[in-house]
Amino acid sequence: MSIKFNHLHLKARDPEQTADWYGRAFGLTVTEKVKRPAGDLFLMCKMTDGTTVVISGEKTGETLRPGDAGSHLGLEHFAVATEDFDRDLAHLKSLGASLLDGPFTTPTGIRIAFIKAPDDVRIELMYFPPGAS
């Protein structure tokens, strides 16, 4: 069996506003916008590295529970790598992201911080110095 990552799906109170934030934060672009028969706005998006991100709202009759940017069971966060940790962390904070944990540096020099993004999504910002993995 051959498996490969296909997409990341974010549920949002306001999909267009969320897509705008991820566009300013990470260069995400909306490639398709559809109002589905289920009643939700469905946005197909691409990150600068080609990763597909889907952002959709509530379906008719659906009530979304609040997000949880804290540590929790299940899919806890997604991580993005940067080449300029301090600049990008400052940029994310300027967009309204709040710092949840860190920043800290591992013994191998990897820098890490966790932020809270719109809809209480937990994101890990990482910097890998040359030679670290």
Give the type of residue at 45. Answer: C
- CA-nearest of 58, 15, 11, 17 to 39 is 58
> Would you state the pLDDT for residue 132?
72
Tens digits of per-residue pLDDT, 38-52?
999 999 999 999 999
At 54, the pLDDT band (50, 70, 90 cuts) reads very high
- pLDDT single digits (tens) 87-123: 999 999 999 999 999 999 999 999 999 999 999 999 9
Residues composing the chain: 133
Share of the chain above pLDDT 90, in %: 85
Gap between the Cα atoms of 128 and 110, Å rounded: 5
Residue with token string 């994101």: 123
Beta strands in the chain (DSSP E): 7-11, 29-35, 41-46, 52-56, 78-82, 98-105, 111-117, 121-127
Domain 78-127 has CATH 3.30.70.20: no
In angstroms, the CA 68 to CA 113 distance is 17
Domain ranges of the chain: 7-56, 78-127
Q: Same CATH fold, 78-127 and 7-56?
A: yes
Query: In CATH, what number does 7-56 get?
Result: 3.10.180.10
Q: Can you give the pTM of this predicted structure?
A: 0.91
